[in-house]
Structure 1
Amino acid sequence: MAKVFQRGHRYNKARQFMRFVIPTLILLLAGFNLVTSSDKGLESFFGGKHSGKRNVIFFVTDGMGPTSLSLTRSFRQYVHELAYNDVLVLDQHLIGSSRTRASDSLVTDSAAGATAFACALKSYNGAIGVDSDKVPCGTILEGAKLAGYHTGLVVTTRITDATPGAFSAHVDFRSQEDLIAEQQLGEYPLGRQVDLMIGGGRTHFYSSNSDPKYGDRGSRKDGKNLISKAEKDGWQYVGNREQFDQLQLGQNVSLPLLALLADHDIPFDLDRKDEEYPSLEEETITAINALNEATKDSDKGFFLLVEGSRIDHAGHQNDPSAQVREVLAFDRAFQAAKKLADKSQVETILISTSDHETGGLAASRQITKSYPDYVWYPEVLSNAQHSGEYCSKQIEGYKGDDKKSFVQHEVLEKMLEIHDYTDSDVDYLINEKDRNSIQDKLNDMISFRAEIGWSTHGHSAVDVNIYAYSNRKKALDEIKDYLQGNHENTEIGDYMARYLNIDLAQVTKEIRDTKHSPGKKFTAKVFDEYGHKVGGLE
């Protein structure tokens, strides 16, 4: 019995030993494979470096929340008589969602949101490329340029607005657009960092006493004409549709390119005339082709920011007709970029997300005291031929003798195809003096009939979607490893910096001496026409 016991005892000890050793060996081997494997690019997350030529196209859908996609998807299906499972291009590339809070509020603005992407850190609402202590922070665009990449900005709002500004400038308040314009052209410690800019915002590049060939709506207070100076410094300047067409969708571009296609914002896609303004899709194609050509003989690619800027404005105005057209315009731009990436021999990643949601949009609305029907009506949006912004400006600028008839027949019946209006509706639109109030009235008439709801003219704290694509499976797998699921907005910026091997801390050291303070006493209690808290002189 003793011998049997001893053999069993030795056997049990051996079995216990193997139970410990084998799992340990498995874990060690797995750890070794994890560190050495490059199949999913994990080495970059632990301090390794990416290699090879690469392009990054970062898309921002300003103000677009998940409901914006749902609304637009159903609208498109209705207009084109598509099946219920026919989806947007963006829908096919959803990988996760992003949390959007700023450092000082659960509800962010576009400035703090863009700074989170550009600098990979949280900052306060209104901050443009500065941290929460108002210290300039190095951006991905700057880091890319310093590393030898070409860079570009494409927007449909002002090129000096919050999102493009946060990638290319450093100021304490987003309202400092004159200073943003100067920095974008290279008047700060790093010199010129942007190779291509396409958008609106010409007003901040020249003053009212500038050469009239640039326009008559310059708003700079210092008397400078930055456009004229840029041309002397070698920039190719484009100021209208005719000159834009001469770029031949990027095949006839000389960098650096400054394309300022409107004094302020490019009109909503619903109001935009093709003969006057290019679409976001055309702007995007032009930028990508130009940057591809410029980098064809380089071992570095490019970083391009593309913003669907005015989705946000439609949300602020609670205009569903304008918003669905803006989302569709963005979807076409994303699709165009994807097609160009597929044709490229260079590894290219596309990442798209929003800085925040605007309007508290709901794809349903209770319009009676009784329990509501489960409906909303896309045909109401389809009938609208213009935005509330456009229509309100027509009413405000009317100089004829019969304003009532104009409002009834031209605005309500022709522009918006509303025929069941009341006398009180017409009286309000005739007598109201504030254009924004007229705009709100018109947009609510559309929203009410479509049974679409809004909870605010401002932003909301809802999480927003993250989309991604690459022409290389390995690159897309890596993006998913890092950004699939729910993430802070700063993690998106951090990933792009890692992908391009950018040391943002080092870039930050190089821009410490940037002039960023307004130099005068500012107050945060100043708002622009869209309700953005922009700051201003007391």
Structure 2
Amino acid sequence: MKRTLLAASVALLAGSAMADDHQQPNIIYVIGDGMGFEFISAYRYAMSDLETKTMAETQFDHYLTGAAMTYPEDDTWVTDSAASATALATGEKSYNGAIGMDNDKTSLKTVMEYAKDSGYMTGSVSTSQINHATPASFFAHHPSRYEYNQIADLMGQQILDGDAAYDVILGGGQQYFIRDDKNWAELIEQQGVSVITDMQQLEQIQQAPVMGLFAPKGLPHAIDEGKDSLARMTSTALRLLGNGDKPFALMIEGSQIDWCGHANDIACAVHEMDSLNKTLEVVNEYIENNPNTLFVMTADHSTGGLTLGRDGEYAWYSDRVMDIEHSIAYMREKMLVMDADLWPRYVADLVNFELTAEHIERLAAASALEGEVREDALHQALAYITGDITGTGWTSSGHTAVDVPVYATGPHSEQFRGFMDNTQLGKRLIDIVR
């Protein structure tokens, strides 16, 4: 599968030279969920030309300014997305699972809520459901990230009460907002909010407020059917938020880098990185035309313990990564409803590589099982096969405690240089919008 990387469109202006000192800046806050430095390396190598040895230029290269710690408020050192997003949104540490709350389960005011108070338009774009850990932590307060219906209720009720902290919110989550016991789509439309459920409707929306719910849960992986989803939603959000006299604050999450990391799926992860890179092209174009915009990007943590190289072999096969045609999740779903005798040929065709005897044996072992155990074993077999043929290593199906990158450009960007704690990003953004 041949892939082409769009070249970076502009070199961004750093610092505040082009900013209007008397006007509050727009804020674009990007979170690559699960995006440790190793994912950026993998993406760059995967996009580079092996024949000419030409290294690909990516949108991540323009504005790296530092790194951040990610640990939660306990003694584990390893954060989940909720605790980290709470830190990034409020400037305060909390426990794993907390949505906009501190250790005592007291609500913490978020940068988006401060921005609203200061007259900003606000919004969020994510490829997860909009009530997932990261977007929810910017707009809601709940003691448990896993209470998805309750978090949806909190976000819906904000509109009915006339105090919503968001004007544009786009992602997945239909099954949480459109339920038998509560249809938030109908209720909030009665309050003048447009609710759209088809991504083809994005271009038709001419003004905020709007809620987009484009999938039952998360959107399809970029490698499967969601290639341009994040960039399209971001383009719409910037158009709606940036067409008035007010400044805006927009959080953009590349949600599924993390999901692919949990799945130990390297091809999936690289394509999610490509999706985020294409989104940054949209952001860069906006900033070029609107220099009074502060751009800050980081990750909430890294996921999977990704290594480029494994088993003592000094090689990582980027061409083989890009030859894989679908995610492990996609392959597993299709394989579970077909005759297991067809599995080896099916996998070989989709990874574009002849399987070894060991690969076939692992598939056969999974096929002999039943139920969820069979599903899990098949997933592990596919993760092993794709890792083995590409030279990709994974140490975990969870998160890791390594430091993550920080990027910034625009007015006040000097505040985001060097090594910092993740809470400092939230605190500094709150100070800017207050």
With normalisation by structure 1, the TM-score equals 0.73
| Contact 2:307/2:393 (<8 A) preserved | yes
Q: Which residue number in structure 2 is paired with residue 499 of structure 1?
A: 432
Q: Give SS of 2:252's match.
A: strand
Q: Which residue number in structure 2 is paired with residue 90 of structure 1?
A: 60
| Contact 1:388/1:440 (<8 A) preserved | no
* Separation of aligned partners in 1, 2:300 and 2:81: 6
* Separation of aligned partners in 2, 1:176 and 1:403: 37
| Contact 1:78/1:378 (<8 A) preserved | no
Unmatched segments (≥5 aa) in structure 2: 1-14
Q: Which residue number in structure 1 is paired with residue 167 of structure 2?
A: 195
* Separation of aligned partners in 2, 1:101 and 1:373: 32
Superposed CA RMSD in Å reads 2.0
| Contact 2:363/2:381 (<8 A) preserved | no
Q: Which residue number in structure 2 is paired with residue 3 of structure 1?
A: none
The partner residue of 2:377 within 420, 433, 437 is: 437
| Contact 1:404/1:426 (<8 A) preserved | no
Q: Which residue number in structure 2 is paired with residue 232 of structure 1?
A: 190
Unmatched segments (≥5 aa) in structure 1: 1-39, 42-49, 210-222, 367-371, 503-538
Q: Give SS of 1:199's match.
A: strand
Q: Give SS of 1:242's match.
A: helix
Q: Structure 1's 318 and 273: CA in aligned 2 closer, same or farther, altered over 3 A?
A: closer
CA displacement at 1:186 relative to structure 2? 4.0
CA displacement at 1:82 relative to structure 2? 6.3
| Contact 2:173/2:216 (<8 A) preserved | yes
CA displacement at 1:384 relative to structure 2? 0.7
Q: Does 1:260 align with 2:207?
A: no
* Separation of aligned partners in 1, 2:393 and 2:230: 27
Q: Which residue number in structure 2 is paired with residue 304 of structure 1?
A: 250
Larger mean CA deviation between 161-170 and 138-147 belongs to 138-147
- Residue deviations 1:516-536 (CA, integer Å, cap 9, x gap): xxxxxxxxxxxxxxxxxxxxx
Structure number with higher relative contact order (C-alpha < 8 Å, ≥ 6 residues apart)? 2
Letter in 2 for 1:280: L
Q: Does 1:365 align with 2:310?
A: yes
* Separation of aligned partners in 1, 2:220 and 2:376: 16
| Contact 2:304/2:397 (<8 A) preserved | yes
The partner residue of 2:408 within 462, 468, 477 is: 468
* Separation of aligned partners in 2, 1:460 and 1:82: 35
Query: How high is the sequence identity, in percent, across the aligned residues?
Result: 30
* Separation of aligned partners in 2, 1:141 and 1:283: 19
CA displacement at 1:151 relative to structure 2? 0.5
The partner residue of 1:155 within 108, 119, 126 is: 126
Q: Give SS of 1:187's match.
A: helix
With normalisation by structure 2, the TM-score equals 0.90
Q: Structure 1's 236 and 82: CA in aligned 2 closer, same or farther, altered over 3 A?
A: farther
| Contact 1:184/1:194 (<8 A) preserved | no
Q: Does 1:353 align with 2:298?
A: yes
| Contact 1:358/1:457 (<8 A) preserved | yes
CA displacement at 1:448 relative to structure 2? 1.2
The partner residue of 2:276 within 315, 327, 330 is: 330
* Separation of aligned partners in 2, 1:82 and 1:75: 14
- Residue deviations 1:193-228 (CA, integer Å, cap 9, x gap): 210111001111122x3xxxxxxxxxxxxx111111
| Contact 2:348/2:355 (<8 A) preserved | no
CA displacement at 1:375 relative to structure 2? 1.1
* Separation of aligned partners in 1, 2:184 and 2:241: 23
CA displacement at 1:429 relative to structure 2? 4.0
The partner residue of 1:453 within 393, 398, 403 is: 393
Q: Which residue number in structure 2 is paired with residue 489 of structure 1?
A: 422
- Residue deviations 1:241-288 (CA, integer Å, cap 9, x gap): 3323x43xxxx42311011000011011001167xxx52111111100
| Contact 1:321/1:387 (<8 A) preserved | yes
Q: Which residue number in structure 1 is paired with residue 235 of structure 2?
A: 285
Q: Give SS of 2:96's match.
A: coil
Q: How does 1:31-430 map to 2 (within 5 A)?
A: 51-78=22-49, 83-104=53-74, 105-187=76-158, 191-207=163-179, 209=180, 223-244=181-202, 246-247=203-204, 252-272=205-225, 279-293=229-243, 295=244, 298=245, 300-344=246-290, 347-366=292-311, 372-398=312-338, 402-405=339-342, 407-410=343-346, 412-422=347-357, 423-430=360-367
| Contact 2:189/2:195 (<8 A) preserved | yes
- Residue deviations 1:464-522 (CA, integer Å, cap 9, x gap): 0001122xxxx2xx422x2211100000011111111x2xxxxxxxxxxxxxxxxxxxx
Q: How many residues are paired up?
A: 411
- Residue deviations 1:361-415 (CA, integer Å, cap 9, x gap): 111111xxxxx332111122111100101101111233xxx4312x1222x1222
Q: Give SS of 2:392's match.
A: coil
* Separation of aligned partners in 1, 2:336 and 2:185: 32
- Residue deviations 1:281-303 (CA, integer Å, cap 9, x gap): 1111110011111x2xx2x3000
Q: Structure 1's 190 and 173: CA in aligned 2 closer, same or farther, altered over 3 A?
A: farther
